[in-house]
Structure 1
Amino acid sequence: MSIRILIVEDEPAICEMVTYALDEQGYQCQLAHDTRQARTRVADGNPDLIVLDWMLPGQSGIEFARELKRDPGTRDIPVIMLTARTQEADVVTGLDAGADDYITKPFSPRELLARIKAVLRRGAPHAAGEELVVDGLRLDPVGHRVQADGTELKVGPTEFRLLQFLMAHPDRVYSRGQLIDQVWGRNVYIEERTVDVHVRRLREALAPAGRDRLIQTVRGAGYRLSGKD
């Protein structure tokens, strides 16, 4: 599963440089030239990280970062601010707005890549391509494999995304609506009972290894993944 990075930048030269550098590292890049386009890209499905310019036409990057952090559906998306502002007060403003890191222009592609890897590793190990493990169940996001007790389990693509999200957030309960937003995307119309169908299929896929018990139903609330009995 490719790591999705949204680049919100209105300078073509910077867009080209950043996109090329990220493509070379195997990241899946999306571009937006203002916050209106960025809002549409996010609605199509939350990216794993946003590289966000401060000075944009219309709404500023700072205002958009604050908007993202106010929304429960997007507040966990890591944000790296790009800006020509170098004063300490500007750095503080960017971080206070919810940015996870701050890079001043001009910058090198190597610096940006290092910052991206660090932020992904810090905030979401699964997005950095690291293996997820819960109670002996192993999910490899790069190789797109699920294993338990040395046996590979056959998990469908939607069930894989569902499992990856739940394993990245163990012991937390998510409603059906929240799972739709995180796994399918907020602009996709899916009935909540469809989530139940995919949860059932996921349990069936995990059953041969006895790991179906990890997917727990919380009556009146939704689902969680937990290795605790």
Structure 2
Amino acid sequence: MLYDAHTHLHEFLDSRIAEFVREITITAVSDDYPSSKRTIDLANTYENIVPCIGIHPWNVDKVGLDELKQLDKLISEARCIGEVGLDRRFVPQTFSRQVEFFRVFVNWARDYGLPLNIHAPDAWVDVLEIVRRADVDGALFHWYTGPLNLIQEIRDYGYYISINAAIKVQEKSRVVARETPLDMILLESDGPYEYRGITLEPPMVKEAANIVAQLKGVGIDNLWESIANNFSRLFRV
């Protein structure tokens, strides 16, 4: 069994999803209430899906706070809160509103004992500060490309980072993989995302694993064993 810790599964056709989950356990993130509802429905239909609900920081200016009330009704069926977070790189103009929404999600994660699946370009320090202050038990910093000197602090709080399948073309992901201890690494595709001419999809975690194993100097079976353990601890599967 392979593991993808962050995919927008709701954007794929059902036929592709059925194909993916035959060999991959997938943490499916959401972008808003409609996608959160579809994610929950998918998890009720297919095995090997860990459903996350949330509002992506790129969408906070497109929805009202009433959407949070709708999402609240889905919490009992969710196993994760995401994709949520802060983004200073791509949407700095909505940062204050992002913080308002993110604090709600962080409180949900703490109160309901759910892990966070976090988006944080150029806001890695901000996010870690908010999450640790709220005493959240589990968090994944997805597609981590942040400061290398923050990795150990993330680990100290028992949190994880995921390395994207874009590692095949992104040097920063290779640097992060070299510097990050195995006991906090997960893999992801963030599919279906277009990055430098590549359409990222869940099966690409297999190639990413081969690259990470080579960079870490470990066997591929040992790497997947570590990934499986990390995935199980974070998402309680």
Report the TM-score when normalising by structure 2.
0.32
More helix by share: 2
Q: TM-score, normalised by structure 1?
A: 0.33
- Greater RCO, CA 8 A, separation 6+: 2
